Structure 1
Amino acid sequence: MNRAELADFLRRSRARLEPSDVGLTAGARRRTPGLRREEVASLAGMSVDYYTRLEQSRGPRPSRQMLTALARALRLTQDERDHLFHLTGEEPPRRETASTHVRPGLLLVLDRLYDTPAQVVTDAGEVLAQNALAKALVGDVMSRPPRDRNLARLFFLDPAARELFPEEDRPFHARGHVAALRAVTAARPDDPEPAALVAELRERSEEFAALWDEHEVSQRYRATKRFRHPVVGLLDLDCEVLLSHEHHQLLVIHSARPGTEAHERLQLLRVVGLQDLSPSGVGGEA
């Protein structure tokens, strides 16, 4: 691990970012350009002390999970992310499979959608990033271990995830998850991760296994979904999905039509914010 080069790269990457680049307000006048250390640490989900030690060439070797979090916090490009991994002696994630690295431009769009729940997921259902309102609506999925961030796994194996939706809507969501995984596994037969997920769900969920055998194939790019929130109540939201073909990533946006009760409740949810009022990190359908 090259601690000196890592420290220099982190400092320079932090200095080139403005608060608005990551969805933050500038606040009081800043003596130096760029983000503060505590802001990067918060975005990456680590302690300020840990991040400070990395910038001072005296920190421990970061885990792969921590490196991925730092790459997202600092809005690194895929080449820059690979460089970050190399500086710590780690092999970068493979590029021939679906990338889990969210491009800086896509993260910027996500941050600007402050009044609309939005998240970035892979086509196989892994949550890669959420904005604040998405966390308020469906829970902070990014706070869970990486294995527990897949929406299909959550829906079929975590009862709390199903509680996000009215009972009569759950068959619709179940079919959507299965049909999407069918499409992904056929499109990327050499990618082991979707195949492993399907094998796990067929073994652990009778519902999934039965739906899989029906061989439905589809990717839903728009729909109307109903969410049950314990504070603001039922929300009827329009779902739009924007697809990045190169990275196999989806930007999922939920919105309410102005003048509707759902719109008023969504505005109330903004006020409620990220208080622990909804099932923590249970996700839901994309």
Structure 2
Amino acid sequence: MGIATWAPMKGHSKMNERSGRDILYEMAVPGRMLVFIDDSGTPGKPLPDLAADFHFLCGVAMTSDAYAAAKDRILSELLTIGNGIREFHTVEIVNPSKTSPWRGVSLDARQEALVAAIDVLKGAASSILHCFVSGEQYDAELKPRILAAVGRAQSPKNALQHVFFNSLIPFLQRTGEDVAIVMDSVAPLSNAIRIQAAADPIRLYEGGVIHVDSKDEPGIQLADLTAYMVNRVYHARQRLMEGKKNPFDEIIVDAVFDLLPKFINVLELPPNKSESSTQS
């Protein structure tokens, strides 16, 4: 079981064809599980007691009913903030660049926005499925496995995705629920989405992983929030211990602590005994 090669959506010029936006709109039908995925990481070794070159990937799982309420609240919060802001992009909330629309939002309002997004995440997420690897772990453990599975080397980030999806998808399929898997796209998209086909598409909405710009899908913004907080929580804790906290550190540390019961490492999921081959 694995993720196959890219299967991008074709052009949508015919009236009877569904656009990428139609597919996104229709994915949240009642009774479906949704998993929104994003990644994060820290190059180098910023703290003495942390492993170097950290890569993290997480999927925020929720029911379609929970997502309907979460999406409405996210869009309402964005409308209230205004200032041309289209998404909760956590790094911009915490440390907006000179060109970011969040730069024009006061510190108090940015703190309130982060607290509101965390509140939505806590209420909507049924579980947070994650996987991570350091540079040292990749060289010692993951690289040999990937070479054996696919016959070629991959970057740590791509290898992490390979392991993540090969654990996540069989697990989701065994739950007996229909599921939509949606991941942040790092590449520009000509349509609203791009679909990466799964080797075994059973119970997967549109037969694979839907890649979409986070600006177009609020669920991805919740995954971005989760990935950012987990990646930065040790930095925040270190600053708190040193008395050098920034205005967001306590918010992040408290949120991660509260969410811990929902975290599941995908490598600890039950194995798929019928799995006989892996594709990438």
User: Which TM-score band applies after superposition, normalised by the shorter structure?
Assistant: under 0.3
TM-score normalised to the size of structure 2? 0.23
Q: Which has the higher strand share?
A: 2
TM-score normalised to the size of structure 1? 0.23
